[in-house]
A and B are shown apart, each in its own frame.
Chain A
Amino acid sequence: MSGMQVQEKKTVTLGSLWRDKKSRGVIMQIIAVIGIMLFLGNIFSNTVENLDRLGVKVGFDFLTEPANYDINQTLIEYDSSDSHFRAGLVGLLNTLLVAGCGIIVATFLGFTAGVLRLSNNFVLSRLMQVYVEITRNVPVLLQILLWHGIIIHSLPVPKKAEAIMDVVFATNRGVFLPQPIPQEGFGWVWIALLIAIVFAVLFKRYANKVQEQTGKLIPAVWIGAAAVIGLPTIVFLLAGAPIEMSYPALKGFNFKGGFVIKPEFMALWFALSLYTGAFIAEIVRAGIQSVNHGQTEAAHALGIRPNFTMRLVVIPQALRVIIPPLISQYLNLTKNSSLAIAIGYMDLVATIGGISLNQTGRALERMAIVLGVYLFISLFISALMNIYNKRVALVSR
C-alpha cells in the first residue's frame, strides 16, 4: 500500500525516479527484461555458433525419415522402416498407457491403504503403515529395477512356461494372454454398451431427483450396473458371439499369438503404482482426517448409518482436500514413467529422446519435442485442476 501521493509538478531526475516506489518498480522490471533478453540472446548465439562449428543442421525434417529401430511394445502398427514421427507416437502412447494403468492401480491402492491406515484394526493399519513407509522412502528407480529383476528372474523361460488353465502363460518374456479378436457384427455390442451407459447415467440422475423430492431410495447404481453389463451381453449373444480368441502357443523359442504383457511394462507398472499409491494413501488419510469429527457425529445424530456417513458426509468433504494433491501425484507418476529408460521400456523419452539420439544426433530438436510433450501434459492437467478447484470453491462457500 503506497500512501497517498500528491502529484505535483517537479523536476524528474534519475534519483527521484529511483526513490518513487512505482517508477522504481518499472525501472527494475525493464532491467530484468533486458537482463533476460541478453541471457537468452547469449545462449541463442552460442548455440548457433556451436552448431555451425560442428556442422549440425537444425530442423524437424528428420521426423519423416525412417527410424530404423525396433520397439518391443507397440499399441499401433509399427516397424523399423516407419518414420521417427511414428516411432515417437508409439513412445508417447506407451507413456500414456503405463501412466494410465499406473494411475488406476495407484488410486485404488492409495485409497485402500489410506482408509485402512485409519481403521482401528491394529494389524491392518500397521501393515499399511509399513507399506507406505517402505515404498515412500525408497527411490522409485530402485523399485522399478527391483521389480524388473524379480519378474525376469522368477518367471521361467518360454520353454518351461508356467501355464494357467492352458491359455495364460507366464514367462520371463512376458505374460501371454488369449486375445479376443472382434469379428463382424461386434460393433453392435459397442453401441449397446454406449446406450447402456447413457441409460445408467440418466437413470441415476432421475433417481437422485426422486430422492430429493420424495426421499425414496432407488437402487440406481445396481440397476445401472445391471444394464451396463446385461445389455451388451444380450446383444453379444443375439449377434451370435462375434468374437474369436487368439490363443498363445509355443513356437520355437517364444510364444506366438495372443496378447502379451511385457516384463518391462509390468515392472514399470507395479513399481509406479506401488510408489505413487503410498503417496496417495497419505493424501487420503490426511483428507479424511481433515474432516471435522463433528461432521461424523452430526451424521450419526441424524441417524445416518456408518457407511452412508462415510459416503455421503465424510468423503465428499474430504475429496476437496484430496483431489488437488492427488492430481499432482498423477502428474508425478506420469513424469516418473520416464524412468522406463532404465529397464528398456520404450516410452516417449526412450524413442524420441534416447535411442534415436544415439542414431542421428539431433539432440536439440528431440529434447525440445520431449520437453514440449511433457509440458503440454502437465499444463493441460493443471488447467483442468484449476477449473475443478474453482468449481469446488464456489459450491462450498
Chain B
Amino acid sequence: MSTETKKYELGMHPAMPPPANSVGPVRWMRDNLFSSVSNTFLTLLGLYLVYMILPPFIEWAFIDSVVFGAESRKECLAIMGEDRGACWSFVYRRWGQFVYGFYPMEERWRVNVAFILTAITVAVVLIERLRANKNILIGAVMLPVACYFLIVGGSFGLVDVPTNKMGGILLTLIVGLTGIFVSLPISIMLALSRISKLPIFSIIATIFIEFIRGVPLITLLFIASTLLSYFLPPGSNFDLLLRVLIMVTIFSAAYIAEVIRGGLAAIPTGQYEAADALGLSYWQSMRLIILPQALKISIPGIVGSFIGLFKDTTLVVIIGLLDPLGIGMAAISTTAWAGLSTELYVFIGLFFFIFCFSMSRYSMHLEKKLHTGHNN
C-alpha cells in the first residue's frame, strides 16, 4: 500500500476496487439467498428439502444398493443386510431383454448393427456440417431402410424374426423413430391442406387433425388392437406392431401438422407474394420458398412433439406390447423379483429422462441458433 498521493488529470483517476462486501460470494449470497426475511426462510426451506431428499436417495440408489451377484430379491436383501437399498440385480440379469426384448439370442447382432446405423443417421441429421453435404445426408436417410431389412429379416439370407419377439428399448426406438419419420411427410401434407384455399381440403384436414388431437392416444391404441381388424377386408389380419405403428404415425402426424402450421403462419405474406410474382407454381413455391423456411422455424416444435411421442411409446404396454416397461413389469411379476416396482420405475424413468432431456437441450440449442439467424 502506497500512501503517497498521485496527481491525476481530472476524470482520469483509475476506478477504485469496490468495497469487499459488495462483490464476490458474500454479496451474491446476500442478493440471491438472504435478501429478505421471507427469502431467507425460503432458502432454508429449499436447502432442507434437498437435505431430506438427496442423501437418502443417493444412499438408496447407490451406496446401499446391490447390482451383481443376486439371483432374486431375497438374495439382494441378504447381501444388503440391515441397510435397505435398491436391488438393481433384475436389471442386470435381464439386461438383454431390456434392450432386445425376446429377439433371438444369435440374431441380436443384427439389432446392434441397426442401432449403429440409426446412430449414424441421427448424428448426420443433427450435426450441421455433415448435414450440409447432400450426398452424405441422402445416404444417411437411406440407412433406416437397411435397418428395416436387418431387424425384420426374411430377405438377404437373414432369418425372419416375428414382430412379437421385438421388445425393450428396440421396440421403443422402432415405435418412436418410425412414428416421427413416417409422420413427417404426412404432417406436411396435412398442414398445407389445412391452410389451403381449397375449402374441401382444408375441411378434411381440419376434421382429421382435430379428431386425432381431441382423443387420448390410448383410445387410438385400443382401436388398433381391437377394432382395426373390423375395418379391413374380411380375412386380412395383420401384425399388431404394424397396427400400432399406423396409429402412432397418424397420431404424431396430427400434432406435428399443427406445429408446421404454426411455422407456415410465421412466414411473412411477402414471401408467398414474392413466389407468386416469380411465376412459380403452388408446389414450386412451397418446395423452394415457403417450406424450407417454415420447416426451419418448426424444428424446435417438431423435436418437442418427438419427445412427447417418445414418452407416449410407453402406452403400448397397456395393449400388451413389451417395451422396457412391459419387460420390467413381466420381470417383477415373477416370484424371484416380486416387489421391486420402485426400482423398475426409477430405472425406466432414468432411461427416458436421459433421452428426452438431451433432446430437449438440443432443441433449446437449436432455438437459440435459429433465433440469432432470424434477427429480423
Are the C-beta atoms of B233 and A46 separated by less than 8 Å?
yes
Residue pair B231, A375 in contact (C-beta under 8 Å)? no
- Report Cα–Cα, A77/B110, bound state, in Å: 57
Binds B, one of A65-73, A135-143, A253-261: A135-143
Most chain B beta carbons < 10 A, residue from A43, A136, A138, A379: A138
Taken residue by residue from 310 to 324, chain B's Cβ proximity to chain A (1 for < 8 Å, 0 otherwise) reads as 011011011000000
List residues of chain B with CB within 8 A of the CB of A140.
Answer: 311
At the interface with chain A, which of B112-120, B163-171, B344-352?
Answer: B344-352
Cα A25 to Cα B282 with chains together (Å): 11
| A residues lining the B interface (CB < 8 Å) | 1, 25, 28-29, 32-33, 36, 43, 46-47, 49-51, 53, 120-124, 127, 133-134, 136-143, 145-146, 149-150, 153, 335-336, 338-339, 341-342, 349, 353-354, 357, 363-364, 367, 370-371, 374-375, 377-379, 382
Contact of B211 among A32, A121, A375 (CB under 8 A): A375
What residues of A have a CB within 8 angstroms of the CB of B42 in the complex? 121, 123-124
Q: A29-B199, A32-B204 are in contact. Are A349 and B353 (CB under 8 A)?
A: no
B219 touching A139 by the CB < 8 A rule? no
* B residues in contact with A338, CB < 8 Å: 216, 218-219
Most chain A beta-carbon neighbours within 10 Å: one of B42, B215, B356: B215
A50 and B234 contacting across the interface, CB-CB below 8 Å: yes
Inter-chain contact B353/A375, CB cutoff 8 Å = no
Q: How far is the CB of B374 from chain A (nearest CB, A)?
A: 17
- Pick the residue among B31, B213, B230, B345 that contacts A149 (CB under 8 A): B345
Q: Across the interface, do B234 and A46 meet the contact criterion of CB distance under 8 Å?
A: yes
Q: Mark B180-202, 1 if CB is under 8 A from A, else 0.
A: 00000000000000000111110
Contact B325 A141 (CB under 8 A): yes
Residue B210 at the chain A interface, CB threshold 8 Å: yes
10 A-B residue pairs with CB within 8 Å? A50-B229, A141-B314, A142-B325, A146-B346, A150-B342, A338-B216, A357-B226, A363-B230, A367-B227, A371-B215
A47 to B356, CA, bound (A): 40
Interface residues of chain B, those whose CB is within 8 Å of chain A, are 31-33, 35, 39, 42-43, 46-47, 49-50, 197-201, 204, 210-211, 213-219, 222-223, 226-227, 229-234, 273, 276, 307, 311-312, 314-315, 317-318, 325, 341-342, 345-346, 348-349, 352-353, 356-357, 360
Given the contacts A142-B348, A146-B345, A149-B342, A349 and B219 also touching, CB distance less than 8 Å: yes
Of B219, B307, B346, most A-chain CB atoms within 10 Å: B219
Contact between A139 and B39 (Cβ–Cβ < 8 Å)? no
The answer, among A25, A28, A32, A370, for a CB contact under 8 Å with B219, is A370
Residues of B within 8 A of A43 (CB): 231
* Cβ contact within 8 Å between A339 and B215: no
Q: How far is the CB of A336 from chain B (nearest CB, A)?
A: 7
Bound complex: CA A30 to CA B201 (Å): 10
Assess the B231–A47 pair: CB atoms within 8 A: yes
How near does chain B come to A380, taking the closest CB pair, in angstroms? 10
With A123-B43, A338-B218: A379-B349 Cβ-Cβ less than 8 Å: no
Cα distance A115–B374 in the bound complex, in angstroms? 29
In the bound assembly, the distance between CA atoms of A33 and B200 in angstroms comes to 8
Residue on B with the closest CB to A376?
Answer: B214
Verify A28–B231 contact, CB threshold 8 A. no
B341's partner among A1, A145, A336 (CB-CB below 8 A) is A145
Known: A367-B222, A374-B214. 8 other contacts (CB 8 A): A33-B200, A121-B43, A137-B357, A138-B311, A139-B312, A141-B317, A367-B227, A371-B219
Chain B hits for A49, CB < 8 A = 234
**Neighbour of A137 across the interface among B199, B227, B312, B360, CB < 8 A:** B360
Contact (Cβ within 8 A) B273 A363:
no
- Complex CA distance for A179 and B310, rounded to whole angstroms: 43
Contact A122 B345 (CB under 8 A): no
The answer to whether A46 touches B230, judged by C-beta atoms less than 8 angstroms apart, is: yes
Known A127-B46, A139-B352, A142-B314; contact A336-B216, beta-carbon cutoff 8 A: yes
In the complex, A339 Cα to B214 Cα: how many Å?
15
Q: Is the CB of B230 within 8 A of A124?
A: no
> What chain A residues lie within 8 Å of B360 (beta carbons)?
133, 136-137
Q: How far is the CA of A371 from the CA of B234 in the complex (A)?
A: 25
Q: Enumerate chain B residues within 8 angstroms of A123, measured Cβ to Cβ.
A: 33, 42-43, 46-47, 50
Closest CB in chain B relative to A355 CB, distance in Å: 12
Contact B230 A137 (CB under 8 A): no
Which residues of chain A have C-beta atoms less than 8 A from B39's C-beta?
121
Closest to B215 in A: A374
Task: State the CA gap A315–B199 with chains docked (Å).
Answer: 39
Of listed A25, A142, A364, A379, residue having the most chain B CB within 10 A: A142
The answer to whether residues A353 and B219 also contact, given A51-B230, A134-B353 and a CB cut-off of 8 A, is: yes
Cα of A375 to Cα of B213 in the assembled complex, Å: 9
* Cα distance A21–B313 in the bound complex, in angstroms: 43
Shortest Cβ gap from B140 to chain A (Å): 26
Given known A-B contacts A32-B204, A139-B352, A149-B345, A374 and B216 have beta carbons under 8 A apart = yes
Instruction: Determine how close the nearest CB of chain A comes to the CB of B187; give it in whole angstroms.
Output: 18
Residue of A nearest to B312 (CB): A139
Give B368 Cβ to nearest chain A Cβ, in Å.
Answer: 14
* Nearest opposing residue in chain A for B360, CB measure: A137
Distance in angstroms between the alpha carbons of A25 and B200 in the assembled complex: 10
Q: Given A149-B345, A341-B318, A364-B230 in contact, is the A29-B198 Cβ separation under 8 Å?
A: yes
Q: Which of A336, A354, A367 is close to B223, meaning CB atoms less than 8 Å apart?
A: A367
> In the complex, what residue of chain A is closest to B279 when comparing beta carbons?
A3
Name the residue of chain A whose CB is nearest to the CB of B226: A363
**Whole-angstrom distance between the alpha carbons of A140 and B204 in the complex?**
31
Smallest CB-CB separation from B281: which chain A residue?
A21
| Minimum CB–CB distance for B190 against chain A, Å | 13
Whether A137 contacts B33 in the complex (CB less than 8 A), given A46-B232, A50-B230, comes out as: no
**Shortest Cβ gap from A145 to chain B (Å):** 6
